Structures are given as structure tokens and as C-alpha cells.
Amino acid sequence: MRGANVTMCEDFKGNVTMLYKGRALNYETFKRGEKPPAIEDDKTINKAVDKAIAKQKARSNYKPSINHPWRTSILCRQSQKRTFLSGRKEDTSTLR
């Protein structure tokens, strides 16, 4: 449908229909994004930092369970996943 012409129809109730070759198309409308917060200046930065610290203190600390993968040491996880080979090569020469 790239570059195709569609007909936009709006009824008296405000419903919009998109038509392509006489068939109604399904579509979805999106809302515009929110405006980003204003940049703090020298006068308001202290209040913003205090507010952020208070928000962090109010948040409960999450503690993972004992069997959570983050709690196992890196060496234990690596030894479970990998096979370690010795650094020595076998003697493959034909001269003895």
C-alpha cells in the first residue's frame, strides 16, 4: 500500500473512517507525547535534589531471594556453563 491514495471520511458524530478501494481500513491513533520536564536552573536545583532524595528514601528496598542468580558468585556461574580445558596439547609428531 505504499504510496496508495486513501479516502478519509468523517460522519456527523465525529467518527473517522479510512477507505482504500472502497474497503474500510483498521487504524490506530496515537496521542502526542508529554512535554519533557523543564530544565532546573540555579535557583530551583536544590529543591529538585531534595525531592529526588525524599523519593528514593520512600521507596522500599528490593532484596532478591537467596537462590536468585545475582546472589551466586561469578565463578560458580561460569563453571556451570563452561568446560575448562587444560593448556597442554597432545604430542602429535610422528618422529619419536
How many residues belong to the chain?
Answer: 96
User: Which residues lie across from 23 on neighbouring strands?
Assistant: 20
Instruction: Assess contact for 7 and 14: CB atoms under 8 A.
Output: no
pLDDT tens for each residue of the chain, 96 residues long: 788 899 999 999 989 999 999 899 998 888 888 888 788 888 889 999 999 999 988 887 777 787 887 776 665 655 555 555 666 666 565 655
Instruction: Assess contact for 30 and 24: CB atoms under 8 A.
Output: no
The whole-number pLDDT of residue 94 equals: 61
- Please state the pTM of the whole predicted model: 0.32
